[in-house]
Amino acid sequence: MKNINTDEQYFYPFEANEPMAIATEALNVYYHDEYHAINDTSLQFKQNQITALIGASGSGKSTYLRSLNRMNDEVAKVTGTIDYHGVDINQPDIDVYEVRRRIGMVFQQPNPFAKSIYDNITFALKRRGITKKAALDEIVETSLKQAAVWDQLKDKLHQSALALSGGQQQRLCIARALAVKPEILLMDEPTSALDPVSTAQLEQTMKQLREQYTIIIVTHNMQQAARVSDYTVFFNAGQVVEYNKTNKIFTRPKIQLTDDYLSGNFG
Ligand SMILES: Nc1ncnc2c1ncn2[C@@H]1O[C@H](COP(=O)(O)OP(=O)(O)O)[C@@H](O)[C@H]1O
Ligand SMILES: [Mg+2]
């Protein structure tokens, strides 16, 4: 595979010394059948911004995203550096549970536990030794408020999460991720199982969450990337083609391949 990650090719939208939430340096991901899914990818993600990862199906967006909180450990070999507050969290001695607490993940399909709404949110907290009811109640309320679903759910906290609508389940999953006080939220096509109204509402919520969290979202929906994100990374065949402020990528891409992809003249 030819490496197109050269300086002339993908433009960096940042000044030196801007605060970054997380960064990868020469990240490579090989699935166990040795398929080289991510090739030498160096990217930085700015704090309190929403960065969208776009690209064709199979281009490596999810693979890259899952590597950031060590979710590929069992299925792939991941080499290179993942810099989080000056620590390389890709090292073998790193506590991956702590990594996943600080870097939470929301998946394509809402995946609440078969438990009550309340227990979904408090499950991880109890395992971390937070057991006082007042403290748990407070976190349940704050997390559901941040996920913009408190008003809908506050009177049924002890009902099963599985009885909720898809949109409500996805918000509950966001609340569950927020309950352990992460800094970064990884979202892999979080609205693809939702109807248009729930999708629009969730996009609104993401913009509010940006004030407190750094969000990296994979989306196959280019309009969604344009609507919600501050920065956009375009992946192709396991490599970054172009990285820029979202409005620049969408109005004036620097690379022909990006232009082709955005205008639908791809492949
Ligand atoms: N668990 C896996 N084992 C082997 N290959 C995988 C696995 N997951 C993804 N891949 C392959 O890696 C490539 C990138 O996949 P993925 O990251 O899911 O792309 P995207 O999210 O952009 O659609 C694809 O060719 C896919 O088939
Ligand atoms: Mg994917």
Locate the domains of the chain by residue range: 20-111+186-263
- CA-proximal residue: ligand 1, atom 1 (nearest): 75
How far away, in angstroms, is 99 Cα from ligand 1 center?
22
3 pLDDT tier (thresholds 50, 70, 90)? very low
Q: With contact defined as beta carbons under 8 Å apart, do 46 and 18 qualify? A: yes
Residue 2 pLDDT greater than 50, yes or no? no
- Per-residue model confidence (pLDDT) at position 164: 97
Q: What mean pLDDT comes out for the span 77-96?
A: 97
Q: Measured from the CB, is residue 63 less than 6 Å from ligand 1?
A: yes
- Between CA 216 and CA 201 the distance in angstroms is 18
Q: Could you name the CATH architecture of 20-111+186-263? A: 3-Layer(aba) Sandwich (3.40)
What are the two backbone dihedrals, phi and then psi, of residue 126, each rounded to the nearest 5 degrees?
-60, -40
DSSP state of 160: B
Q: What predicted TM-score, i.e. pTM, was given to this entire model?
A: 0.94
Which ligand neighbours the alpha carbon of 34 most closely? 1
- Between CA 24 and CA 42 the distance in angstroms is 5
Q: What mean pLDDT comes out for the span 175-204?
A: 95
Q: With contact defined as beta carbons under 8 Å apart, do 241 and 258 qualify? A: yes
Tokens (6 digits) for 17: 């010394």
Q: Measured from the CB, is residue 57 less than 6 Å from ligand 1?
A: yes
List Cβ neighbours of 258 (8 Å cut-off, separation of 6 or more): 234, 241, 242, 249
